[in-house]
Amino acid sequence: MNSIEATIRSTKTKGELNTLRKKGEVPGIIYGGKNENQKVSVPTKIVKNLIEKENFLSNVLNLKIDGKDQNVIPREIKYDIITDEPIHVDFLRIVEGTKIILEIPVKFINNEKSPGLKRGGVLNIVRRKVELKCPTENIPTELVIDLDGVDIGDSFKISSIKLPENVTPTIQGRDFVIATLAAPTIIKEPEKPAEETAEGAEGAEGATAEGAEGDAKTAAEGDKKDSDKKDGDKKEPEKKEAPKEKK
């Protein structure tokens, strides 16, 4: 359980709240139970570190206020729309004997010991958090699923998780699935049919043969023309007959 030093605040205006934030404090309020609501402030740095944890909104915190301990659960965080810095936190006071509904994160362990994952299986997580109804004095920080020995085709339902005493899921009447280990999905490009490949090859060969034949024919015609031209050049000029003498 994390402990935070909290300070009682008496701020009333927006200006006083902004001044408090500039000093590195986040305004907050504690509510719930028979006691009156209590205005407090907590260090911004500590709040930001806790927010980074996945189970912050379901984790019990111990606030130390004027030397007294008060167990609370963070219920809501407000952020600045520009800087995204936390500007207000609501804490629910823990009162024994009461129950609260929380979303508890699911944690998977021993991934390296799963034969299904080793063979390329895929862990499909259906629910990363499970909504539970818990006694305030017995709130689980996480739900653990052990993957040791788990193979392809196995699934995990809520019944396979051992819940703490008096902790129950809010979904009743069915054993809902939390995760499954599925077979790997491999996508292969379809192979071309053999006939299509053969036709393509024949077409290519035919085109090559026709091209070669055409080239040969063109070359032959060119040679013939050259030959005829040379033969014409070799012909002797025609002899003209001499004019006959008049008697």
Q: What pLDDT was estimated at residue 195?
A: 56
CATH number attached to the domain at 1-95: 2.40.240.10
Rounded CA-CA distance 213/206 in Å is 11
Amino acid making up residue 92: L
Apex 84 CA angle, 80 and 87, nearest 5: 45
| Residue partners of 96: CB distance under 8 A and separation at least 6 | 135, 136, 137
DSSP state of 113: G
Domain 97-189 has CATH 2.30.30.30: no
DSSP state of 240: P
Supply φ then ψ for residue 148, to 5 degrees: -60, 120
Number of H helices, E strands in the chain: 4, 13
State pTM to two decimals. 0.64
pLDDT in tens, the chain (247 residues): 688 899 999 998 999 999 999 999 999 999 988 889 999 999 999 999 988 876 788 888 999 998 889 999 999 999 999 999 999 999 999 888 889 999 999 999 999 999 999 999 999 999 999 999 999 888 888 999 999 999 999 999 999 999 998 999 999 999 999 999 999 876 555 666 655 555 555 554 554 545 545 554 554 555 545 555 444 444 444 444 444 544 4
Domain coordinates in residue numbering, the chain: 1-95, 97-189
Rounded CA-CA distance 149/157 in Å is 16
Amino acid making up residue 143: L
SS3 97: coil
